[in-house]
Structure 1
């Protein structure tokens, strides 16, 4: 078992996502930075869809009761094993009784802890990803225990990787959405040339931006949305839907950002700057 001694700011179980249920209003969910989660699993030779811990900004304290191996990727949250600093983006041998903790936030926002074989928590609608009310909880709390299989024999082929540099100013690759043409020429020019700032309202559901693009009076029926859909409110605010974002919405969908851009945006937070770069 993995014992949750302290939960950290917001630590969850995530996998590649919950697919095939959007017609029922169930979001995809899954790891916010899917590339980082897949990297952590790859270092352990796990399947991409194996469940990992997603650690947001401030890490938990975890105690392992069985031997295994772990890999860390994503945000650098100063990981420590038995109070000794260890490298991020690397594989580490774990013995029964070891404790993993985190310290100072260095860069990024969300880190990932993969375990050899994946965490064997409950599957709900073919996924282990936390999303309340589909799952009982939306984050880990102190006292919880997570099951994993003991692994004594494993020789990792890759023990350390050099992470991609997290850009200070993010450029999101975006293609026009279904309602892109409700924008006038001035709004389109602003959209692709001015910087935008991430607002305080940012989480697994959506990121709001502080700047106003311009109000509109475009009526529309509720329509399908996806992670990465950029909506424009009547007051002119931009909302970027993320992994837990709703499956439909009534705001114009003016852009769709790429999968790579969703991953990179997931490592950004309040006050960070971004631009939209048009593709297509």
Structure 2
């Protein structure tokens, strides 16, 4: 069997693809990779479909043993990957042999890294997706000893020098493009100005949402009926707390939806850690 064994899990490792669509009406989140740009890049390096599942790693990566030869690529945050204790480059096509050990450390920059293998990871597919989510998939977070099936590897793979230069702007960018949300106009002109000129500090970072420090000047008394939300929806609580919903977010919410992040902005935010600051910039369709 073509597979990878988890020798030591990282902080938060999970199998993800581009997401699980079409089930919001029954309360199933989209899930999927947080930084789709980096995940797609890893798949592109080894000529995978963009739909192939990858391993998403957050903050600190795992130690993995390959039980069969494979072709891989790593993109996203730099977690100092090593193959048999020898450093390897990010965003480069790599060949691994049976018994090889691939290890990751702490993220030097960014927050989430992606490991792609030729023909993808092949965990159980649920509701048309491999994306891990508690209550949907059997495998959620990787644990020690877990065996992860991967797609059959080609016996012969022609190697060129496939690599892509790391775009540090993706990690350094602090400005998130966003569209006006359905309740944007509920804010006063002064609050709208604060929203689009101030910087907001991240205080919590999960796959469900990024939360920002309270801004008392954004406090309000607006109430709305429970309404549909999606990844990228920016909600504002009555106390003035901003929350940017991410890939594992609920499908409905009761706070005003003041902004909707662009797909690229979601990917940029996914590489931010707590204590970092971001700004919002309005864009138009």
TM score, norm. by length of structure 2: 0.95
CA distance in 2, matches of 1:214, 1:180: 12
Counterpart check, 1:210 vs 2:200: no
CA distance in 2, matches of 1:138, 1:122: 11
8 Å CA contact 1:44–1:156 kept in 2: the answer is no
CA distance in 2, matches of 1:268, 1:147: 30
CA distance in 2, matches of 1:190, 1:211: 13
CA distance in 1, matches of 2:30, 2:13: 18
Q: Which residue does 2:165 correspond to in 1?
A: 162
Shift of 1:103: 2.4
| 1:86-101 → structure 2 map (5 Å cutoff) | 86-101=88-103
- SS of alignment partner, residue 255 of structure 1: strand
CA distance in 2, matches of 1:238, 1:56: 22
Instruction: Provide closer, same or farther for how the CA distance between residues 233 and 104 of structure 1 changes in structure 2, counting only shifts above 3 A.
Output: closer
Counterpart check, 1:115 vs 2:149: no
- SS of alignment partner, residue 269 of structure 1: coil
| 1:110-259 → structure 2 map (5 Å cutoff) | 110-148=112-150, 149-156=152-159, 159-165=162-168, 166-168=170-172, 170-199=174-203, 201-212=204-215, 213-259=217-263
Shift of 1:137: 3.6
Q: Which runs of 5+ in 1 are unaligned?
A: none
TM score, norm. by length of structure 1: 0.97
Instruction: Provide closer, same or farther for how the CA distance between residues 18 and 222 of structure 1 changes in structure 2, counting only shifts above 3 A.
Output: same
User: Which aligned runs of 4 or more in structure 1 are off by greater than 2 angstroms?
Assistant: 166-169
Number of aligned residue pairs: give it: 279
- SS of alignment partner, residue 90 of structure 1: coil
8 Å CA contact 1:169–1:273 kept in 2: the answer is no
Shift of 1:157: 5.2
Q: Which runs of 5+ in 2 are unaligned?
A: none
Q: Cα deviations across residues 216-245 of structure 1 (Å, max 9, x unaligned)? A: 111211000111000010111100000111
Shift of 1:158: 5.3
CA distance in 1, matches of 2:192, 2:161: 45
